[in-house]
Amino acid sequence: MYTESIENYLKTIYEIQKESEKVTTNSISEKLGVAPASVTSMMKKLSEKKLITHKRYQGVKLTGPGKKIALEVIRHHRLVELYLAEALGVPWDQVHDEAEKWEHVLSEDLEDRMDKVLGYPTRDPHGSPIPSRDGTVIELESIPLVELQPGQSGVIAEVSDHDPDLLRYVGKMGLYPMTKIEVLSVEPFSGPITIKVEDASHILGSEAAQYVFVSDVEGERGEAS
């Protein structure tokens, strides 16, 4: 049994590894909002427990046991998010913070019960993959919406849950996972994107569009207006 702090660090390292080739003390510090000195101290502890390897100039990497713990915490988190959303009707912009509290204390029995009630799901409310009990993660091939051009269409695969305001913003446009969208126009110089969702058109800021991921992209790239 590991402390909540250790589990949070391992989960954070796993998440950074997905986004970057190198996990540094500074990147962990920024993501967790803690002092670099605290991160250095924890890296030493995790290394002693053989949960990470930490070499100068090469960054931090999870070992097999460290990755297993990180994926179990992520599995708990995403199962709880889906349970809160589907069983209790909690809005998708509120489930993340609640799941942060549950992920460290969820028993295996309750985890199995949630999994069964939800029909053994593979995605959370935001479209993120739910790791299986054995640590398998099925990733969908997707690209940020901001990279699509006029004339292209696709299906929303995932929306980053890092910011509740973002979720509320795109939720008002109906940009939920499994929703089909089409790009109508893109303004130059990182301008807004006009998209079609069902029979309505919406203007989405390019900054927000980089956190919305699209799969099954179709259509030829048009020219930005």
Q: Which residue has the higher pLDDT, 140 or 225?
A: 140
- Helices 64-87 and 108-117, packing angle to 10 deg: 50
**Would strands 193-197 and 200-204 be described as parallel, antiparallel, or unpaired?**
antiparallel
What is the average pLDDT score of the chain? 93
Q: Closest Cα to residue 76, out of 103, 101, 99, 97? A: 103
- Structure tokens that stand for 186 in this block: 């893109």
For residue 223, name the pLDDT band (cuts at 50, 70, 90): low
H or E segment to which residue 55 belongs: strand 52-55
- Structure tokens that stand for 211 in this block: 């956190």
Q: What pLDDT does 104 receive? A: 93
CATH topology of domain 4-62: Arc Repressor Mutant, subunit A (1.10.10)
- Give domain limits for the chain: 4-62, 143-218
User: How does pLDDT run across 74-127, given as a tens digit for each residue?
Assistant: 999 999 999 999 999 999 999 999 999 999 999 999 999 999 999 999 999 999
Q: What pLDDT does 221 receive? A: 65
- The predicted model scores a pTM of 0.89
User: How does pLDDT run across 32-60, given as a tens digit for each residue?
Assistant: 999 999 999 999 999 999 999 988 778 99
- Structure tokens that stand for 208 in this block: 């927000």
CATH number of 143-218: 2.30.30.90
For residue 225, name the pLDDT band (cuts at 50, 70, 90): very low
H or E segment to which residue 70 belongs: helix 64-87
- Structure tokens that stand for 117 in this block: 């009630």
Can you tell me the mean pLDDT for 174-180? 96
